[in-house]
Amino acid sequence: MNKIHDFIIIGSGASGSVIAHELTRAGADVLMLEAGKRFSAASFPDNELDANANLMWNGGMDASADASTLFIRGKVVGGGTVINQCLLDRFDDDALDSWQTQSGIKFFNSKIMAKHYDAVESNLTLHSMEQKDWNKNAELYVKGFENKGFEWAPLRRGQSNCGEGNDCMQCLGGCPRRSKQSMLETFLPKAEQAGLTIQSEFLAREVIHGPSFVAVSGYQGNKATTFYSRKVILASGALGTTELLLRSQLQDKLPALGKGFHCHPQWMTVALFNDVIDSHKGAFQTVKSSDARFRKAGFKLENVFAGPIAIGLLKPGYGFDHQRFMAQYRNMSCIEVAVRDQDPGTMTLDNRDRLVINKPLSDADRQRASNGNALVQDIFEDLGAKEVMTSPLQIGLHLMGGCAIGTNPNHCVVNESFQVQDHPNLYIADSSIFPNAPGINPSLSVMALSHRASQSILADCGINRANASLQEQATS
């Protein structure tokens, strides 16, 4: 048998990196397994096409079973934090109270979670976007909101010394300035300094839980490989973690596995103006809706844009009309509607052992989207847009659920100690444990939950002092 590690962490994103940081600081022997490649600020792809192919699963996107919704997730050391916009907000009482009610777990409240938010924020550089950061797309957004009497607020973003003339569109394919506070620039270097080993380009396919250790089997290239550890933390996100447990044939033991999937479905509306907007230049996302009426109505409006390949996919049709539309790329402004979806989807494996995502939208969720899109149309028309196009394509950027946390084993996969039910050597703290859709960007809360999980894991393993690994404890 190969070496038995103290811990194996599968996934290197917001959850896995925070947990690795805490476990290695305590002196544990930790191996991190990541399916994606390792890039650096100097080696990230410099164009949208290569970024999609090299930093994301399945060349850029997964699709729901009916192909109505596209899901985007990172496949790279640093996970989704490398390709997201690094918008870092805490959950409000509305989100946490709904989680406490649904899960039965008492630590879902602002007072208890505050110390975990504080702990992860102490390792990040956070910047509330200022008016000097706005591009013309943001200026139109604010003007449109103020014309209608809607409330807006600056976004809080993880960035450090981003500098003048930054281009956050490129940042979506990996930040070349080392400014964006991805795991690659924050928690992972500290964890590696404390002894973390990262094995990239390893595709985990199965976990086998035993009373004394867990085996993780997969492929390094074409070579079948198995690693062993006393404890395993699954941190591959809603799709990756759920798929791994399904492949490990735990459905019969975990009746809630694959259920409760949410994605904050989003629709982008693009408006064409006579003036040049250049929404693709500068900090393209700086302000957000903060209107309580929107929160109550179950949606938010986001100041956002996308690269030409993505915009081209969003525009329906083909031929001369599509060419005419794309020729006006510099004249485009965009606002996105993100829905706090109420009705969950499911994830299963088909007879070819491939993940199948069923995420139909209920009438209530469609109505939320329709109400939000109508507001955006009205805002753009009021601003003098000559043409407004709401893309029919639904996009899921915030992938959540499938392994819900809770107190009832019939309705949840993970208990309040972040252990998989009846599998004491398996832990999960990533977005797959979300009980429902919070309606707020999830990245910071994934980090906070993972910080709490790390404290629970260390306590369960009896590690309560610096430089005391499991092996040292066993021989003392």
Tokens of 339: 């829905």
What would the mean pLDDT of 136-151 be, rounded to a whole number? 97
Tokens of 370: 């329709």
The total number of structural domains in the chain stands at 1
In contact, 411 and 175? CB cutoff 8 Å: no
Residue 465 is predicted with a pLDDT of 41
In angstroms, what CA-CA distances link 71 with 61, 160, 203, 265, 394? 5, 28, 20, 9, 9
Residue 181 is predicted with a pLDDT of 97
Closest CA to 245 of 50, 12, 11: 11
The model's pTM: 0.95
DSSP SS3 for 87: strand
Binding residue ranges for FAD: 76
Q: How far apart are alpha carbons 177 and 200 in whole angstroms?
A: 23
Which CATH number belongs to the domain containing residue 97 in this structure? 3.50.50.60
Tokens of 185: 């620039």
Arithmetic mean of pLDDT over the chain: 94
Residues 217-232: tens digit of each pLDDT:
999 988 999 999 999 9
Residues 153-207: tens digit of each pLDDT:
999 999 998 876 667 778 889 999 999 999 999 999 999 999 999 999 999 999 9
What would the mean pLDDT of 420-445 be, rounded to a whole number? 98
Residues 29-81: tens digit of each pLDDT:
999 999 999 999 999 999 999 999 999 999 888 999 999 999 999 999 999 99
Q: How far apart are alpha carbons 374 and 390 in whole angstroms?
A: 9
> What single string gives the DSSP state of each residue in 404-417?
-B-S-TTT-SB-TT
Binding residue ranges: 76
Tokens of 275: 């003036």
DSSP SS3 for 14: helix
Residue 1's pLDDT band (boundaries 50, 70, 90)? low
Question: Residue 274 belongs to what domain range?
Answer: 4-473
Residue 166 is predicted with a pLDDT of 66
Give one word for 26, left, alpha or beta, with left for phi > 0 and alpha for psi -120 to 50.
Answer: alpha
* Beta strand extents in 223-373 (DSSP E only): 223-234, 259-262, 266-272, 287-289, 299-303, 332-339, 345-349, 355-358
Residue 239 is predicted with a pLDDT of 98
Identify the DSSP state of 362: P
